[in-house]
Amino acid sequence: MRLLLFALLLLPTLSCKKEITTIREVVPDNYIYGINGDTLYQSNVEKTKQKSSEQYLSILYANLFQSTIPPSDLAQLSELRLASGDKQLIDELVLNNYINGGGAIIPSDAEMRADIGQFIENTYIRFFLRLPSPYEVYELREMIESDLELTPELIYQGFALANEYQFY
């Protein structure tokens, strides 16, 4: 009798158990990308993938206006950029329209010249997602200090049209 009772108590621990596994499906389209959580690149060498038209336009808009581009504007501009044989020309036209159209968040000339080093660092992080090298800081500082006609708008245009800005 004791042996039978002992066997009945021991049976659940010796019986086979079904292993349950959970399968999670990861759908890349459901990722949410934030603007503020970006990690900085160490140099421009790490950027090996060219931005698509949609990426370029939406990132450009976000860099200038600090907000997301309206979907209808993105669709129209992306289609225009893809249809054009000269993407550089379209990029320049769109950029000039954004900067000269008002609403772009750009420091004033006085703010830039008050702390040139901080302006340079902020501009590199804003457009290239990296810190500038000492040589880049030196060269841009020299350009700003020696040319009173050089405005933050012109510097932003130069950064947005640079080859490095086309890659991530």
The reply to whether 76 and 99 lie within a common domain is yes
The tokens of 47 are what? Answer: 């950027």
User: Can you give the pLDDT at residue 34?
Assistant: 47
- In this structure, the chain runs to a length of 168
The reply to whether 88 and 101 lie within a common domain is yes
Phi-psi region of 150 (alpha: psi -120 to 50; beta: other; left: phi over 0): beta
Specify if 73 maps to a domain.
yes
Specify if 42 maps to a domain.
no
The reply to whether 138 and 94 lie within a common domain is no
User: Can you give the pLDDT at residue 86?
Assistant: 87
Q: Which of 55-59, 112-116, 126-130 has the highest mean pLDDT?
A: 112-116
The reply to whether 57 and 101 lie within a common domain is yes
Task: Report how far residue 61's alpha carbon sits from residue 58's, in angstroms, rounded to the nearest whole number.
Answer: 5
Rg (CA), the chain: 27
Report the largest interatomic distance among the alpha carbons of the chain, rounded to a whole angstrom: 103
Q: pLDDT tens across 134-147, in order? A: 999 999 999 999 99
In contact, 91 and 81? CB cutoff 8 Å? yes
SS3 161: coil
The tokens of 68 are what? Answer: 């997301």
Distances (CA, A) of 5 to 11, 12, 112, 136: 10, 12, 86, 83
SS3 130: strand
User: Can you give the pLDDT at residue 85?
Assistant: 84
In contact, 90 and 128? CB cutoff 8 Å? no
The reply to whether 97 and 120 lie within a common domain is no
Q: What is the model's pTM?
A: 0.71
Give me the phi and psi of 50, to 5 degrees please: -80, 140
pLDDT higher than 90, residue 158: yes
Instruction: For residue 123, give its domain range.
Output: 107-168
- The count of structural domains within the chain is 2
